[in-house]
Amino acid sequence: MTRPLALITGATAGIGAQFCRSLAARGYDLVGVARDGARLDALATELAPLGATLTPLVADLSTDDGIARVESTLADGHVSLLVNNAGFGTTGTLVSADATQQRAMLTLHVEAVHRLTRAALPGMLAARRGGVIVVASVAGFLSSGGNVNYCATKTWQRVFVQGLHQELAGSGVHVQALCPGFTTTEFHARMGFDQRGRTPAWMWYPAEFVVRASLDAIARGGPVIVIPGAVYKAVVFLARHLPLWMVERLNGVYRRDTV
């Protein structure tokens, strides 16, 4: 029997690498997308004993060329699960942070997610089955100084998925915005920011926990928004239900001490 095929962006580390491990264990073959080819090869070797083939696809998704190469892989219609996961954070204010990196974030979090999802859906709709997961964030319900572009792009991802969910009703294709809080990955170290030293241990979840919540939900066909962990369900509940002036105070607590 042929194994279903999943394409995961940001497959070399953290949540994306965990998606690869968990999907391999659930019977998928994989296309892993990232910039670091050596790490993709190492992951392919690690997953082979599970009977899973991981095909490395080296692409920088903050470039037009990188996005176009992944689009053309998706266009053949063989991918039944797309995980738009690649992402990064920055430190500094909108004005003080590196402008090139800020533009790269817009391309990676918004344009790449838009184009790859658009490329994957026709094949899924024709087959009347499939799924698209976008790894957004609890930050997609918040706004924060020191995190302006990150919160805005994560909000775009969440709203994009919620709208798409309505368009795809009854099509057999499921979409999900996965909205984790602090997750133990390389994310904060890559930013050069010691978030772990500044936040209590109970606010951190392992990538395995986050990915299990996502895959269990998409296997059930819903819900469209998945927020792993009681801590972050509570944060989002407050952000959506408190009066606006109180939400602004909450955002102030979240404000990153890096500006």
Please select the residue that binds ligand NAP; options are 156, 187, 193, 232, rule is CB under 6 A.
187
**Ranges within 155-184 binding ligand NAP (CB under 6 A):** 180, 182-183
Q: Does 90 bind ligand NAP (CB under 6 A)?
A: no
In the bound complex, what is the minimum distance in angstroms from residue 146's beta carbon to ligand NAP? 15
Give the x/- contact pattern for ligand NAP in 17-36, rule: CB under 6 A. -----------------xxx
- Give the binding-site size for ligand NAP (rule: CB under 6 A): 29
In the bound complex, what is the minimum distance in angstroms from residue 205's beta carbon to ligand NAP? 9
Q: Does 135 bind ligand NAP (CB under 6 A)?
A: yes
Instruction: Tell me if residue 254 is catalytic.
Output: no
Q: Does 137 bind ligand NAP (CB under 6 A)?
A: yes
Asked if residue 151 lies in contact with residue 143, where contact means CB atoms within 8 angstroms, the answer is yes
Segment near ligand NAP (CB under 6 A); pick from 84-92, 161-169, 229-237, 250-258: 84-92
Asked if residue 131 lies in contact with residue 172, where contact means CB atoms within 8 angstroms, the answer is no
- C-beta closer to ligand NAP: residue 36 or 129: 36
Q: Does 108 bind ligand NAP (CB under 6 A)?
A: yes
In the bound complex, what is the minimum distance in angstroms from residue 53's beta carbon to ligand NAP? 19
Please select the residue that binds ligand NAP; options are 16, 130, 131, 228, rule is CB under 6 A.
16
Q: Does 54 bind ligand NAP (CB under 6 A)?
A: no
HEC profile of the chain? CCCCEEEEECCCCHHHHHHHHHHHHCCCEEEEEECCHHHHHHHHHHHHHHCCCEEEEECCCCCHHHHHHHHHHHCCCCEEEEEECCCCCCCCCCCCCCHHHHHHHHHHHHHHHHHHHHHHHHHHHHHCCEEEEEECCHHHHCCCCCCHHHHHHHHHHHHHHHHHHHHCCCCCEEEEEECCCCEECCHHHHHCCCCHHHCCHHHCEEHHHHHHHHHHHHHHCCCCEECCCHHHHHHHHHHHHCCHHHHHHHHHHHCCCCC
Give me the active site residues, please.
150
Interface residue list for ligand NAP (CB under 6 A): 9-16, 34-36, 39, 60-62, 85-88, 108, 135, 137, 180, 182-183, 185-187, 190
